Amino acid sequence: MKIDTEIRHVTRADANLFSELGFSPEEAGRLQAAAAREINETQRLKVQLMTELASWIEHHHLKQTEAASILRVSRPRVSDVINRKTSKFSIDTLIEMLGRIGKPVRLEID
């Protein structure tokens, strides 16, 4: 069986993906704005969780290798937290790391 791998269309990075998928201009604009809000909120939450972890590491005067052992991650992962590399972590992973240091995360919905 031959798998078709031919590229037929490439969407520009600055294009509205929803327009490319055939949504009306109004709907595409609404969907893109909603997606941007969700992405921004996720980023904000990750930064908040990473800031809490980094503050804990600093407060306890831990070296990255020591923090890695406690958090049960690699030293480079600790560096990624300290440098707020949000794309390298899921919210779940950050919550698990906070739980390991006795800082459970509570979700509050307004």
Give per-residue pLDDT as tens, 7-65: 888 888 888 999 989 999 999 999 999 999 999 999 999 999 999 999 999 999 999 99
Burial of 97 (0-12, 13-18, 19+ CB in 10 A): buried
C-alpha 53/C-alpha 96 separation (Å) is 11
User: Domains in the chain and their CATH numbers?
Assistant: 17-100 (1.10.260.40)
Question: How far, in Å, CA of 84 to CA of 31, rounded?
Answer: 28
- Residue ranges in 1-110 assigned as alpha helix (H): 17-20, 25-59, 64-71, 75-82, 91-100
Question: Token digits for 62?
Answer: 């831990």
Q: What is the pTM of this model?
A: 0.80
